A and B are shown apart, each in its own frame.
Chain A
Amino acid sequence: MLPKQRILTEAKSKLKSVRHKLTDLAEQNTGLLVLCRKELADHLNSKRFVIIVILVALTGLASIYAAANGIRAATQDQKTDFVFLYLFTAGGKSVPPFISFIALLGPLVSLALSFDAICGERSRRTLSKLLAQPIYRDAVINGKFLAVVIVSALMLVSLGALVGGLGLLLTGIPPSAEELVRILAFLFLTTVYMALWSALAIFFSVCFRQAATSALAGMAVWLFFSVFAQLLVGLVADAIFPLTDQAAAQIVFRNQQLRQFLGWLSPTTLYSEAVIAILNPSIRILGPVMMEQIEGAIAGPLPLGQSLLLIWPHFTGLIAGALLCFAGSYVLFMRQEIRAD
C-alpha cells in the first residue's frame, strides 16, 4: 500500500473514531440536551423572566439615553477616542451609567431565575418523577445550569445590541473594531459573572428545601457583596494598618493594598474593576500606585491586549468562582437522597 493511501485511511479511521465519540457523547447527554431545552422554554415563557428583562432593559435604555445626551460635552472635555464605549461607562446627571445598572441587576436576574431550580422541583414533587426518566442524574443540575447561562447570555447579547443600536441612533458614531471587541468582552465577562450568581443560587436551592429560604440566602449574599463587603474591607484594613494623620506613606500604601486584596475576594469588586478596565482603555492599573511608577507616564489608551491582560486575574477569579460554586452544588446534589414521596 502506498504511504499516501495509508495516511489517508489512517486519517479516515481517526475521523470516524472522533465522530463515534461525538455521537456517543451526544447519546449520553440526550437527557441533558432535552432538559436544557425544556428549561430554556420554561424560562423564556415565565412571567418572572419577562418582568425582570423589562426592568433591566428599561433601566439600561434610560442610562444610555442619559449618556448619549451628555456625550458631546463629555467627549470634548475628555478628548477620548472611544466615544462609543463612553455610552456604556458614562451616566447622566441623575442616572447612573449602564455598567452600574448591569453590575447591580445582573446578579438579581440570575438569582431570580434559579433560586428555586432544585427546591422548586422538590416542592412541586416533580424531581423524583424527573429522575425516573431514563436520564443520568447529573443531567438535571447540568441542564438547569446550562439553561440559565444560555438565558443570561441571550439577554445580555440582545441588551447589548439594543443599547448599541440606540447609541448609534443617538450619536451617529459607529464603533471601531476595537470598541466592538471590548463590548463583546464586556458581555462575555458579564455572562460569566451572572453564571457565578446562578451557580450560587442553584447551590442554595440544593441546600435548602424551601424556595423562600434559598431566595433569601441568595439575596443576603448579594446584598453583602454589593453593599457591606466594601465597608467590612475598609474596617479590616483600617484595623490592621490604621490611617492616622501622622501615618507614614508606607502604611497608607499598605492599607490601600490590603483593601484591594480583600476587595478581590468579592466577585462584585472583581467584576466592577474588570468592567471599568475593559470599557475604559485609559485605565492602566487598578489599585494603589507609587508615584515613581507613573513618573514619565503619559496619558493614552491601553491597547486591547494590555487591557485584557490587566483584567485577566479578575477574569480567572470569576470563572474559577463560577465553576467552584457549580461544582459545590453538583456534589451536594449528587450526594443528596431523593425520595419519591
Chain B
Amino acid sequence: MKIIPPKGKQIFIISMIIMLSAGLVVADTARAQSGLILSTPYPGLEVRPGETVHFPLEVLNQSIASQPVSLQVVSVPEGWNWSLLGQGKAVHQIFARQGTPQQVDFKLEVPAETKEGSYQTIIRASAAGAASNLTLNLKVSAESKQEGQLQTQYPQLEGPAGATFKFRVDLTNDTAKEQSYSLSAQAPPGWQVSFSPAFDSKKIASLSVNPGESQGLEVEVLPAKNVTADKYKIPIRAAYAGGALQTELVVTITGTYDLILSTPSGRLNANAYPGQEREVTLTIENAGSADLTGVRFSAREPTNWSVRFEPEEIDLLAAGETREVKALIKPDRRSIAGDYVVGLTASAAEARSTVEMRVLVKTSTLWGLVGILIIAAVIGAVYRLFKQYGRR
C-alpha cells in the first residue's frame, strides 16, 4: 500500500468531503445525470373525496442505454386504489428508449370517506444503474373545484296533473378530457323522465361533452296519471368515468278540480208520476287531483216541480272518490204526460258538473180505472134492461 503524504492525505480528505457534499447537494441532478427521469406536469393536485384522478406520467431515459424500466408505487395512503395504465392495460414495466419520453397513466381513486388533508404518493421508476422517484402531493378538500356541472336556471316548475314539465339543464364538462355522461333520473313510480339534447327531439340516455364545453339538455317530466297535488323532487344524475354530476328538479303539481255527475248505469232518463216523488240515484265523482269541500247540489227544474237531494251537501269529496247521491224528483201535480228536462248540478267552489235528466212524466192510471168503472156501470145498466124487458 502506498503511503500517502500527510499533505496529500489532507487534500484527499478535503476533496472527498467536497465530492461527498457535492454529491449530496446535487443528488437529484446526479441521478438525473444518471439518466432516468420520472415526471408529471402537475404533481400537486387538489382533489375531492370520491374522485378518481389521473396522472399522466412520463419516463425519460437520457443517458443510460435503452432498457426496460420497472415502475412501482412505493407509498400510497391506506385504502386508496391505484393502477398504472398503459394503453388501457395495467403495466409495471415500461421500455425506455434513450432520449424518447414514454407515457404511462397513473390512476388513483380517492375513497369517498377520505378526510381532508394532505396525502402523498411516491412512485419509483428504476432501471439498471438508474432510478427516479416521483412524489405526488394530493390535497383532499371537499370544496375543491368541481369537474363539471349540471345546472338549471329554473329548477322548480309548477303545473296541473297531466301537464308535461320541461326543464332546461346545462351539462358542463370542466375536466381536462372529453367525458361520456350517462343520464338517469330518480322519479316517483309511474312518472316518466326523458332526456333530449336542446333543440332536438331525440331521446338520449348518454352523451359526450368536450372538455370545457357545455351541452344544453332538455329534461321532460311526465307525471303519473293519478298524481295528487304535491311537491315532487326528481334527482337527476349524469354519471361519468370520474364520478357523477347531480342536480335536483322539483315539480309542483297544483290541484286540478273536476267533478263528474252521472248515474251508476249512465242512464239519464227516469219515469215519474205527477205529484209523486221519484228517487233517482246519482254518482258524484271527484275526477280532479285535489280534494273538494262543500259540494252542493242544485237543480233546474220546470215550474212547480221540486227536486231534493239526499244528502244535500257533501262536506269533503277526496280526490278520486265517488259517492252516491239520491235525487228526489217530484213533478208538478198538473204536469202533462211526456218528456221533460231537469238539469241537475253538483257544484263546489272550484268545479261544477251538470247532467240533464230526461224525465218521462206518466199520467196516473187512476182515471183509466174510473173510465173502466163507468163502462162497467153502463154495461150493468144495459144488462138490467135486458133482464127487465127481454125474454117476453
Contacts and interface: CB of A to CB of B under 8 A. Distances in A.
Interface of A: 28, 136-138, 284-285, 289-290, 292-300, 302-303, 305-306, 308-310, 312-313, 315-316, 319-320, 323-324, 326-327, 330-331, 334-335
B392 A330 contact: no
Contact of B340 (A138, A297, A319): A297
Given A297-B339, A316-B370, 17 more contacts: A137-B390, A293-B335, A296-B301, A296-B302, A296-B340, A297-B341, A298-B341, A302-B338, A305-B362, A306-B363, A309-B365, A320-B374, A323-B375, A323-B379, A331-B389, A334-B389, A334-B390
A295 to B, nearest CB: 4
Contacts, number: 105
B336 A138 contact: no
Given A136-B390, A296-B301, A284 B338 contact: yes
A304 to B, nearest CB: 12
A319 B376 CA distance: 10
A138 B372 CA distance: 26
Given A138-B386, A320-B375, A324-B378, A294 B336 contact: yes
Contact of B389 (A309, A315, A330): A330
B302 A309 contact: no
Main secondary structure of the interface of A (DSSP, over half): helix
Contact of A289 (B336, B365, B378, B385): B336
A306 B338 contact: yes
27 contacts: A136-B392, A284-B337, A285-B337, A292-B304, A293-B336, A296-B301, A296-B303, A297-B302, A297-B340, A297-B341, A298-B341, A303-B360, A306-B363, A312-B371, A313-B367, A315-B371, A316-B372, A316-B374, A316-B375, A319-B375, A319-B378, A324-B378, A326-B382, A330-B389, A334-B385, A334-B390, A334-B392
A317 to B, nearest CB: 9
A293 B340 CA distance: 10
Contacts of A294: 336
Contacts of A285: 336-337
A320 B371 CA distance: 9
Contacts of B391: 28, 136, 138
Given A136-B392, A310-B363, A334-B392, A293 B332 contact: yes
Given A137-B390, A313-B367, A297 B385 contact: no
Contacts of A331: 385, 389
B362 to A, nearest CB: 6
Given A296-B342, A300-B338, A306-B337, A320 B363 contact: no
A21 to B, nearest CB: 15
A310 B361 CA distance: 12
Shortest beta-carbon contacts, A-B, top 3: A296-B302, A316-B371, A334-B389
A305 B345 CA distance: 31
Contacts of B339: 297-300
B357 to A, nearest CB: 11
A28 B390 CA distance: 11
Which range contains the number of B residues in contact with the other chain? 35 or more
B334 interface: yes
Contact of B336 (A284, A327, A335): A284
Interface in B85-104: none
Residues of B contacting A: mostly: mixed
Contacts of A293: 332, 334-336
B55 interface: no
B87 to A, nearest CB: 87
A125 B180 CA distance: 129
B257 interface: no
Nearest to B336: A285
A320 B372 CA distance: 10
Interface in B251-271: none
Contacts of A324: 378
A290 B335 CA distance: 10
Given A292-B302, A312-B367, A327-B381, A302 B390 contact: no
A323 B363 contact: no
B129 interface: no
B368 interface: yes
Interface string B231-275: 000000000000000000000000000000000000000000000
Contacts of B304: 292
A327 B389 CA distance: 11
A308 B363 CA distance: 10
Contacts of B334: 290, 293
B337 A302 contact: yes
A334 B385 CA distance: 10
Contacts of A313: 367, 371
Contacts of B336: 284-285, 289, 293-294, 297
A323 B340 contact: no
Nearest to B360: A303
B378 A320 contact: yes
Contacts of A136: 390-392
Nearest to B362: A306
Nearest to A138: B390
A327 B379 CA distance: 9
Interface string B311-341: 0000000000000000000001011111111
A327 B385 CA distance: 7
B338 A138 contact: no
Nearest to B371: A316
B374 A327 contact: no
Contact of B385 (A305, A312, A330): A330
Contacts of A300: 338-339
A316 B371 CA distance: 5
B31 interface: no
Interface string B143-157: 000000000000000
B305 interface: yes
Given A138-B389, A334-B390, A323 B337 contact: no
Nearest to A328: B385
Contact of B305 (A289, A296, A306): A296
Nearest to B331: A296
Contacts of A315: 371
Of residues B362, B371, B372, B385, which shows the largest number of chain A Cβ atoms within 10 Å of its Cβ? B371
Nearest to A300: B339
A300 B358 CA distance: 11
B270 to A, nearest CB: 14
Contacts of A327: 378, 381-382, 385
A330 B382 contact: yes
A289 B302 CA distance: 14
